[in-house]
Amino acid sequence: MEDMLGYLRYLAVGMKATATVGSISFISAVLIALVVGIVRAQQIPVLKSVAFVYVEIFRGTSLLVQLFWLYYTLPLFGITVAPLTAACLGLALNSGAYGSEIVRGALLAVPKDQLEAATALNLNAAQTLWKITLPQAAVEMVPPFGNLAILVLKDTALVSMISIADVAFKAQELRTFTYDSARIYTVTLLVYFGMALIVMAIGRIAEHYLRPPYLRRRTILLGRA
């Protein structure tokens, strides 16, 4: 038991790197997803083709290879990328491609009569997007974006391959020193699970407060019943 607590303390050093990479990557991925998803949902000329190519490339190739390409290949073109930058950029671009489909689907799911009402009120495309479509779609985006956040957290384990001292990197160091693979990786699993629980809790809170007030009250009443 004492050994496992010692392992936990050692892995805690890598939790800061995991949290940093995961947070920066997820926030960047959401911003990318919003831009790309809106471009594809609104069928903006030229940009929709660029967005389609981006999404297909990053969804159709391995995240690990993408990280290797950013970290090891870009310097061959004279662009030196720090490990942290390569990790955050790779995760953000990869997750943003998946997230853009969440945004696009949520925007397209808004009832057509809402768009017809906006037209009747003489709202232009930008006003319709920001005042009608996006606020309604945002509520539907929160649960899948919560799942995406957990996936980003788990994918951070791959950044250890480009020398980021995250939880997975520290676990591998411990295994090299002690050869106690079973207990080390058991503690590592628990660390990731604990961090995932925190992410899920934040997602539930965000989902609750983004719901319309009448739905929020109904959820509270059902919970009491």
Q: What pLDDT, on the 0 to 100 scale, is given for residue 219? A: 43
Question: What tens-digit pLDDT sequence spans the chain (225 residues)?
Answer: 667 788 788 888 889 999 999 999 999 999 999 999 999 988 888 898 999 999 999 999 999 999 999 999 998 888 888 999 999 999 999 999 999 999 999 988 888 887 778 778 777 878 888 888 888 888 888 889 989 999 999 999 999 888 888 888 888 888 888 888 888 888 889 999 999 999 999 888 887 777 665 445 444 433 444
Question: What whole-number distance in Å separates Cα of residue 187 and Cα of residue 184?
Answer: 5
Question: What whole-number distance in Å separates Cα of residue 35 and Cα of residue 138?
Answer: 14
* Number of residues written out for the chain: 225
Kindly report the CATH number that applies to the domain delimited by 2-224.
Answer: 1.10.3720.10
In order of 113, 201, 220, the CA distances from 204 in angstroms are: 29, 5, 14
Distance, first Cα to last Cα, the chain: 43
Q: Count Cα atoms within 13 angstroms, Cβ side, for 69.
A: 12
Residue carrying structure tokens 């109904």: 218
Nearest C-alpha neighbor of 24 from the set 101, 107, 92: 92
Q: What pLDDT, on the 0 to 100 scale, is given for residue 203? A: 84
H helices of the chain, where?
2-42, 47-60, 63-68, 83-108, 112-120, 125-128, 134-155, 167-178, 181-210, 213-224
